Amino acid sequence: MRSFKKEDVVGKTVIETSGAVKGKVRDIVFDLSGGVTFLVQGADGKDSQIPLSNVTGISEHVVVKGETATEQGAPSYGTTCKFCGAAKSAEERWCPSCGRSQT
């Protein structure tokens, strides 16, 4: 398991696997029970919190599970990432593993 420092994450763009841009990581929040949340500033200037469990990959971007995708259940793994080979659904425009653009 890779570990990350705050500097590896803060300031990066947060993108859903569907390709939707959520905003930029502003800070990292944690609680004493071990929960870690990314504080993300959206384009409208409002902060939202994304739990670490929703983060699927960190590279040049922070890639998170799409809110719609999680509600629909498991994605259909039709393709693989052309960079790291991770299984991904054809609809995912960003690799959930390495965070690279698939276009």
Please report, as ranges, the residues that interact with Zn ion according to CB under 5 A: 81, 83-84, 86, 95, 97-98
Residue number, 26 or 83, with CB nearest to Zn ion: 83
Q: What are phi and psi for residue 69, nearest 5 degrees?
A: -65, -40
Least separation in angstroms between CB 79 and Zn ion: 11
Q: Are 21 and 27 in contact (CB under 8 A)?
A: no
Least separation in angstroms between CB 83 and Zn ion: 5
Residue number, 16 or 37, with CB nearest to Zn ion: 16
Least separation in angstroms between CB 32 and Zn ion: 34
